Structure 1
């Protein structure tokens, strides 16, 4: 695990925690309710869990071993076995094939031979302006190829959600500014089922703008709690 100045893996602070996974899960549940459902479907939770673990398994390997390891093999070990979680058998195979193809394209097109700076790690950083510790789980973070001190942050979602993406960008901005003294160089969010990659300038928001946004999300952090840290870090997003 990498050591980030100003951020720790096991915080001693007694400040309230602002958990990204609680906010994300609450936003996703709200989206489902708005669409006429009850909460995030179990199949999406389980598929996100499989995606997270698969990427963690893959990038935990050395670059040399990675080149000889099909990511489809790792995904198969993590894929949910309960077909009944899905609306239909056809939907089960559609999701599985789409996710598998997306991961193959992903790992074959970027960061070959590189070692992640952060890999599925949960970090805490004190944010005095919010009187809270920001707790955020980074799925993949890379050193910039253009600037050694810059960071490229990646997030992977089974299905796209604009509010979750926006909230994550603001949280990453606050974390990096508080921890490293600068925003991330870029934030890259992948909507896997939509086969969509979105690239955001990490300097798009000031620290003040992101703090204001997190103040709004703090209400969801206090009212949420249906999320699961493990489901989010290597699963629910």
Structure 2
């Protein structure tokens, strides 16, 4: 169970099924994936700079470095392209240069693999940015966008993996969305470990039963999905079966 697979499942179980269970790949690159890659590169390279270089000028330089090869044709329109560029640039400037860091990060895009005995499962999570705090450490994650379910998933994953790997919980988990420019903060307690394990148990059960996967209600997710035609075909087939069964029962 990796953070990437679980995030994909939370966004849409149908898409997860086509992409990761059936291993169907789409050759079409979607703008969200490209922008998320750019965000990751900018954040990672920014925190590898010296303290004196961690300023707005270098944020602009990093954004220009990774955006200059992105084609506007990936987006819905040129207006959409420049809107996404403007918003992500503005919010990266806002959140990366909010204050000077006194010490380098503990972890920077560090992948952690642990075995959870209660779940009988290997868990994998990438700690994008972990920094020292007054009593423990804080975790930050920079995303293009996130809904409540994705935020909940990440918070539970961080708690469970941190407890197993370090025997200690983070003082704070902060998820920053760069389209909206919002910050979602979570302060775990000792009870959060049991809650996280139960949540992941439920996720594991869902993942093990592909026949029970349901389609997301997110119009945004559907618009960007490479498997939309397959999804519609499968839903039409399911509806036809339902109608046939209803006639038979009558």
Scaled by the length of structure 1, the TM-score of the pair is: 0.76
Q: Equivalent residue for 2:87? A: 98
Give 1:167 shift. 0.6
User: 3-state SS of the aligned residue for 2:197?
Assistant: helix
Q: How does 1:91-170 map to 2 (within 5 A)?
A: 91-144=80-133, 146-147=134-135, 150-170=136-156
1: CA distance, partners of 2:185 / 2:5: 24
Aligned pairs, number: 199
Unaligned runs of 5+ in 2: 17-25, 214-250
Q: Equivalent residue for 2:76? A: 87
1: CA distance, partners of 2:58 / 2:12: 33
The answer on whether the counterparts of 1:153 and 1:186 sit within 8 Å (CA) in structure 2 is yes
- Per-residue displacement from partner, 1:65-112 (whole Å, max 9, x unpaired)? 324852011012112512111111101000000000001011211353
Q: How does 1:215-226 map to 2 (within 5 A)?
A: 215-219=201-205
1:27–1:111: structure 2 CA closer, same or farther, 3 Å change rule? Answer: farther
- Per-residue displacement from partner, 1:12-44 (whole Å, max 9, x unpaired)? xxxxxx1111111222245999xxxxx9x8111
For residue 6 of structure 2, the aligned residue among 8, 20, 23 is 23
1:153–1:111: structure 2 CA closer, same or farther, 3 Å change rule? Answer: farther
1: CA distance, partners of 2:30 / 2:13: 15
Q: Which has the higher contact order (CA 8 A, sep 6+)?
A: 1
Q: How does 1:28-107 map to 2 (within 5 A)?
A: 28-30=11-13, 42-67=30-55, 69-79=57-67, 81-107=70-96
2: CA distance, partners of 1:31 / 1:163: 16
Give 1:113 shift. 3.8
Between structure 1 and structure 2, the one with the greater Rg is: 2
1: CA distance, partners of 2:74 / 2:191: 39
1:180 correspondence with 2:166? yes
- The two structures, once aligned, show a CA RMSD in angstroms of 2.6
Give 1:208 shift. 1.4
Give 1:204 shift. 7.3
Unaligned runs of 5+ in 1: 1-17, 34-38, 225-237
2: CA distance, partners of 1:47 / 1:141: 22
User: 3-state SS of the aligned residue for 2:118?
Assistant: helix
2: CA distance, partners of 1:101 / 1:20: 27
For residue 202 of structure 1, the aligned residue among 188, 194, 217 is 188
1:99–1:20: structure 2 CA closer, same or farther, 3 Å change rule? Answer: same
The answer on whether the counterparts of 2:72 and 2:78 sit within 8 Å (CA) in structure 1 is yes
1:26–1:73: structure 2 CA closer, same or farther, 3 Å change rule? Answer: same
Structure 1 stretches of 4+ moved >4 Å: 30-33, 219-224
Q: Equivalent residue for 1:36? A: none
2: CA distance, partners of 1:31 / 1:157: 22
